Amino acid sequence: MAADEQPPQPLTATATTGPETEQEWLAAYDPRAYTPVAVTVDVVALTLRHGSLHVLLVERGAPPYQGCWALPGGFLRAGEEGLDEAAARELAEETGLQGASEVEATLCRLHLEQLGTYGAPGRDPRMHVVSVAYLAFAPDLPDPQAGTDAAAAAWHPVADLDLRPCGRPTAAGAPADTHGGGVDGRPGPTALTLAFDHARILADGLDRVRAKLEYSPLATAFLPDDFTIPDLRAVYEAVWAEKLHPGNFHRKVLSVPGFVESTGTTTQRGGARGGPRARTYRAGGAGLLHPALLRPTREDQPAGHPPAEHPAGEAPPTEPHSH
């Protein structure tokens, strides 16, 4: 607490009225005695499109940072909604969902989790704004529609972004956000700059997702209810930005208890080169993956190139049979 800041006054007793009640104390409480702080929610919304990881961004249509791209978000409606509700509302508005039934159908298959809190002074030039960031994942999210305060909204391939701050002062004398560069530490082909400290928030979100894929079944949140092991591998390859050995990946997935379970069915068609039809799976009941699926760059193994994939994109003949 700052030296010149006065703490809330405790309950007091007077000679005429006796002990002051809490209701009386609250009635006399003046919130204007304290510097106001606003609360916003920002959403790192990720989905797979055309086999690559995409993030939802909106182009700001008004100051501050007019013309810059930003994560979808907005101010918390104080007294009307909680943080989770605000994040879901902002995502529904920016993804163009129309009507209660469509919103409910999408949100029921949406993975939404809190990422972190960002409240450095000067991160917003309007006032001291604390942002609670969320991660959101869902398969096949619709094309976005810009909200009333946005000039445009679009899904952007994460691998193509050059995540640099927008290059504008956030406040007089405030330190600039120095996080920049491509999402993997190298510049991407698109010089897309982000408003506020959203480059840092997005980078933190990607770090979280990449780490959680190692020890949790989060990858299944990017897929429909029924999927193949190659579908699951495509999620890992898109998020990790690494090619994985098809056979090794298949064996590792099936060796983790509760990660996936067989549906007892196969795909309608075989592989692209006329191979057998692939078995389909659904998410299992495991909350954590044990053993974990480590990224190849974190494994202590010799580097090498994966062999050609099985024609059907399925497992080698040593695959255990489903029961």
Within-domain flag for 140: yes
- Looking at the structure, tell me whether residues 195 and 75 fall in a common domain: yes
- Looking at the structure, tell me whether residues 118 and 153 fall in a common domain: yes
Within-domain flag for 192: yes
Q: What's the pLDDT score for residue 176?
A: 43
- Looking at the structure, tell me whether residues 123 and 147 fall in a common domain: yes
Q: What's the pLDDT score for residue 147?
A: 66
- Looking at the structure, tell me whether residues 181 and 96 fall in a common domain: yes
Domain that holds residue 270: 216-298
Gap between the Cα atoms of 38 and 107, Å rounded: 26
Contact indicator for 7, 1 with CB cutoff of 8 Å: yes
Nearest to 65 by CA among 199, 202, 195, 198: 195
Question: pLDDT tens track of the chain, all 323 residues?
Answer: 555 555 555 544 444 455 579 998 899 888 888 888 999 999 999 999 988 999 999 998 889 998 889 999 999 998 899 999 999 888 888 766 655 555 565 666 788 999 999 999 999 999 999 999 999 988 877 777 776 677 788 999 998 886 666 665 444 434 344 444 455 544 455 557 789 999 999 999 999 999 999 999 999 999 999 999 999 999 999 999 999 999 999 999 999 999 999 999 998 776 666 668 899 999 999 999 999 999 988 765 444 444 333 333 333 333 333 33
Domain count, the chain: 2
Within-domain flag for 1: no
- Looking at the structure, tell me whether residues 286 and 267 fall in a common domain: yes
Q: State how beta strands 69-70 and 52-60 pair.
A: antiparallel
Q: CA neighbours within 13 Å on the CB side: how many for 323?
A: 1
- Looking at the structure, tell me whether residues 55 and 195 fall in a common domain: yes
Longest dimension (CA), the chain: 93
- Looking at the structure, tell me whether residues 271 and 154 fall in a common domain: no
- pLDDT, tens digit (0-9, with 9 covering 90-100), for 102-111: 556 566 678 8
Give DSSP secondary structure letters for 5-32: PPPPPPP-EETTTEEPPHHHHHHH--GG
Nearest to 43 by CA among 65, 62, 58, 53: 58
Gap between the Cα atoms of 103 and 141, Å rounded: 11
Written as six digits, the tokens of 68 are 């810059």
Grouping H, G, I as helix, E, B as strand and the rest as coil, residue 268 is coil
pTM above 0.85, yes or no: no
- Looking at the structure, tell me whether residues 50 and 159 fall in a common domain: yes
- Looking at the structure, tell me whether residues 153 and 176 fall in a common domain: yes
Within-domain flag for 233: yes
Nearest to 130 by CA among 120, 122, 119: 119
- Looking at the structure, tell me whether residues 250 and 141 fall in a common domain: no
Q: Which CATH number is 158's domain given? A: 3.90.79.10
How many other β-carbons are positioned within 10 Å of the β-carbon of residue 9?
Answer: 10
Gap between the Cα atoms of 195 and 206, Å rounded: 17
Residue 142 DSSP label: P
Q: What's the pLDDT score for residue 192?
A: 75
Within-domain flag for 17: no
* Contacts (Cβ under 8 Å, ≥6 apart) of 241: 159, 184
